[in-house]
Amino acid sequence: MQKTLLAAALVVFTAGCTSVKVKPDEVAKLCGDRPTEEQAQGAIKTYVNSALKDPYSAHLGTYVVGNCEGRMIGLINGGGYKYGWVILADVNAKNSYGGYTGSQTHELLYNNGNVFWMVSN
């Protein structure tokens, strides 16, 4: 019984760590148009302004627009997947103590002007 519960718990917890590749014929329907350079930069600025404690201290490094993918948003946020173009951006900003954290990669999903931030590494 305990082994079954443990296995079920592992499935639930690891399900949030998955990504879903989108078939090429579904890209336009699920992810919208691929963002332009200006839209990608705007998405990063939107993220920085709304997610960081001190957005004015942020130094933006390189960024890359990747593939159209889906990410699980977790049960706390309603469950299911958000689809969009993955944008990886390097950001160096101040933390709560006023020191710079060093360059960290942040993962965003961009879908027709909507920006969802998912993971920071």
pLDDT digits (tens, 9 = 90+) for 4-47: 444 444 444 444 455 566 666 776 688 888 999 999 999 999 98
Look at residue 3 and tell me if it is in a domain: no
pLDDT of residue 57: 92
Residue 38: inside a domain, yes or no? Answer: yes
Domain assignment present for residue 24? The answer is yes
Alpha-carbon gap, residue 79 to 87, rounded angstroms: 22
Mean pLDDT of the chain: 79
- Asked whether residue 6 is domain-assigned, the answer is no
Instruction: Please indicate, yes or no, if residue 100 is contained in any of the structural domains.
Output: yes
Distance CA 68, CA 22 (A): 6
- Residue 88: give the domain boundaries: 18-120
Element (H, E) at 35: none
CA atoms within 13 A on the CB side of 62: 2
- Is 8 inside any structural domain? no
Query: 25 in helix, strand or coil?
Result: helix
For residue 116, give both structure tokens.
């969802």
| Distance between first and last Cα of the chain | 36
59-72 and 104-111 strand pairing? unpaired
Model-level pTM? 0.71
Does the residue 84 lie in any domain?
yes
Q: Is the pLDDT of residue 96 over 80?
A: yes
**Is residue 11 situated within a structural domain?**
no
Strand (E) or helix (H) holding 121: none
- DSSP H helices in the chain: 2-15, 27-31, 37-51
